[in-house]
A and B are shown apart, each in its own frame.
Chain A
Amino acid sequence: MSAILKPKSKLIVCDGNEAAAWAVSLANVDMVAVYPITPQSSLVEYLAKFIADGRLGAEIVDVEGEHSVLSVLQGACLAGARTYTASCGPGLAFMFEPYLRTPGLRLPLVMTIVTRDTLTPQSVWGGHQDAMSVREVGWVQMYCESVQEVLDTTIMAYRIAEHSDVMLPVNICHDGNYLSFGAARCELPEQAEVNDFLGEKNVNWHVALDPRRPMAVDPLTGGAGGPGPSTFVRYRKGQCSGMQNSLRVITEVHEDWGRRFGRSHAPLVESYRMEGADYAMVTIGSMTGAAKDAVDEARARGEKVGLVKVKTYRPFPAEALVAALAEVKAAGVVDRSVSFGWNCGPLYQDAITAMYDAPKRVPMMSFIGGLAGADLTVGHFERVIGRVRELARDGRPAGTVWLNEKD
């Protein structure tokens, strides 16, 4: 469902999948490879339509599976093309081998994960479990809150990925169902302004498949003798530096976006009503909207509660989170996925790790909700606020709270 309303206003009504497709079109991508999977399918259908209509002058390759999707794009990217795909859940699992290899190749691929809970039990609905399962592979990962943020972040992702201090693949994560199919009013930037923002395409300056300049890409490295170990370490450290550099680049790119387009999104973490907050919720993704409404209601009742949204999840914005939470007496972290190894949410695990460096100990608790398409409403966040208020008083965290357990 889409409609450009007035030629000059550039306001459209679209869902998150269509917003991502608009962004890819505006970014003048050269090569798209796709394999459809719920809840991503309509996104690649929109892209196929944009290409068929001549709106986007890209090659589209409809391959036989996700492993080939990313393999095709690696080749295209090595030849200097700007590339895009989207996947999720079982598709992302089938893509894992080339997915694992892409960051080490330092290829600035951009890929949306339309997040979906993982099997099994059988489910086709949203949840962050797929994206969270690949959080340590070396892709930059940013989570979006709204349809507008999906559109804006997908364009920004190219400038981040292709920056010479980063040169890494980027995932934009948007929630399956609530953002993929949730429609909202959305501003569509002008093509010329996006062209200026992204600048000259310089996708792959460090290594290139060029018949006139043959080179070996990704030669055998490592082992226990000769130059192998130090070479391998150099590559690995370079990757880690690129990840850390991306924190600065993400911030700069978001600031420039705000200046040019008049819409600002917090780059790493967003502090919402944290002034004088005694305790806080930490959220990620589309749940944040309802959580902010719950904070407003609690503030109206006189409760000193605030919210910190994590947008950039990989690399983890540890310093920014510590700065945001340093003054509170307690915090509750709400995840839309599970860390099986720690019996809590993965964002909670990251948050307490980051908070080890905080000036004082902040008691924290893990809340898990919204799995497999379950709704996270203002009422759920009222419960979180109530429990965290108690934690601020007694300083004694309890085990993980499962928010939809009694829905």
Chain B
Amino acid sequence: MYEIRIHGRGGQGAVMAGGILATALVLEGKYVVAVPSFGFERRGAPVSSFLRFDEREIRQMTNIYRPDCVLCIDPTVARAVNVFEGVRDGAVLVQTTGKPLGDFQLPPQVATVGLCDAVAIALDIFKRSITNTIMLGAFARTTGLVSLESLQAAIRKSDFRDAGLKQNMAALERGFEATEVHQIERMAAA
């Protein structure tokens, strides 16, 4: 079982990102459960969404506390919540940012980091900072756990209210292309 926690802010589409990713994974034959966190979320407030997938049926309908991957679709939400809480050894971080890797303080569990300036891409495509489909592209590039083709198929099946299908397809591809993937080298213990 592989567990992903998506962090974002209300209005960026963190829950919808979970739904699109779930559909893409099911297209690849996986079993998936996606559970949003619930509250009086409003535009700009920190939100999260949980997704687990496996080769066999998943029974737990619960939140995720020990993620294998943290997908952070907002550049500053990490100031408001500890996005690394409970991450497993060898974890993956996929982060929206305009900053270089050296600016991040990463916990020792994080082994792989994908960085993507999704806000800049979103401002270019959507004229506002809706980053969800861009960061799904970044997720695919960083982890290789889902194909770009499956994500495209899943987006084609989705209802987009605020932005057109064409824009989101472009967003997905640009997110994929613009992502830098870093493997974190750790000093061996002396």
Contact = CB atoms under 8 A, between A and B. Distances in A.
B98 to A, nearest CB: 29
A288 B62 CA distance: 11
Interface in A341-392: 373, 375-378
Q: How large is the interface on A (under 10, 10 to 19, 20 to 34, 35 or more residues)?
A: 20 to 34
A378 B63 CA distance: 11
Contact of A146 (B18, B40, B61, B154): B61
Contacts of A182: 33-36, 61
A288 B60 CA distance: 8
Contact of B19 (A5, A13, A286): A13
B123 to A, nearest CB: 25
Given A181-B38, A183-B19, A185-B31, A13 B26 contact: yes
Given A13-B32, A183-B18, A373-B38, A3 B61 contact: no
A75 to B, nearest CB: 34
Q: How large is the interface on B (under 10, 10 to 19, 20 to 34, 35 or more residues)?
A: 20 to 34
A375 B59 contact: no
Contact of A1 (B23, B31, B38, B63): B23
Nearest to A184: B33
A125 interface: yes
A378 B23 contact: no
Contact of B59 (A125, A146, A175): A146
B2 interface: no
Contact of B27 (A5, A124, A175, A376): A5
A28 interface: no
B35 A292 contact: no
B23 A179 contact: no
Interface of B: 16, 18-20, 22-23, 26-27, 30-36, 38, 40, 58-63, 65, 154, 157-158
Given A1-B20, A183-B33, A184-B61, 16 more contacts: A1-B16, A2-B157, A3-B154, A3-B157, A5-B23, A5-B26, A39-B38, A177-B38, A178-B61, A182-B34, A184-B33, A289-B60, A289-B61, A292-B59, A373-B38, A378-B60
